[in-house]
Copies of this chain bind each other. A is one copy, B any other.
């Protein structure tokens, strides 16, 4: 495994790979790797000649009052995990190389970026699409892997790739959960013992929604109201949003349809967690 910090060096490696007719699978991450990331890496490994992982905590996607500084950076452990998975290249750029003084260019996917998490994290998705497009230009991947936990992010990136004719394929892989249902997230590290228990309410609320839908309920207000009640029983929980949305437009819908998404963002203490489930008829499972 080779660690690359220089942008031009990374680009040269990618170009060389393509000239050798090798395909590149890419997993962009902010580090603090968990089994969710590792699943993406294994898939990239399996489907491509070369597997590249980037680790970059992207300042541009954090709001001023958000957790950029305290975001976990267990870099040694991350490198070990990648090595074990047979990653070929780790791209580890410095912030001032990615955003040199005078940086001014941003990519925006309108409408999709202002909904759900976008309403609560102004500028967040603009930061995501900008850094992701930069990484695509530097790494020239054939297939890029994203986890479904950040489903809005994945949908927005798919839309950007389509609109800007970026020649890459986006694969969205299923959410990986603990046995108790908690969706894996680097931010779970922030949770206290009590909060860890309360955090289970996210997947439990999705499970309750599933049960209701499986009994034939399609009125999204009924489903959301049940979820809200459930979450509000937890002392440390505070809802940012719960919504049932169309999976293309991310707009709220009134009646559950096949392939719609149940999405939620809930603060557990000082940690903001997100989770979601895709509805697939006739029955679906969280």
Contacts and interface: CB of A to CB of B under 8 A. Distances in A.
A7 B160 CA distance: 16
A259 interface: no
Copies of this chain, whole number:
2
B104 A159 contact: yes
A134 interface: yes
Interface stretch (A27-35, A64-72, A107-115): A107-115
A105 to B, nearest CB: 4
A166 interface: yes
15 contacts: A19-B21, A104-B109, A104-B110, A104-B111, A105-B107, A105-B110, A105-B129, A106-B107, A107-B107, A107-B108, A130-B164, A134-B163, A134-B164, A137-B165, A137-B166
Interface in A107-135: 107-112, 129-130, 133-134
Contacts of A133: 164
Nearest to A129: B105
B105 A163 contact: yes
Contacts of A138: 165
Interface in A187-243: none
A63 interface: no
Given A19-B21, A21-B19, A7 B108 contact: no
A141 to B, nearest CB: 13
Given A7-B165, A137-B166, A165-B137, A112 B107 contact: no
Contacts of A164: 105, 107, 130, 133-134, 137
A11 interface: yes
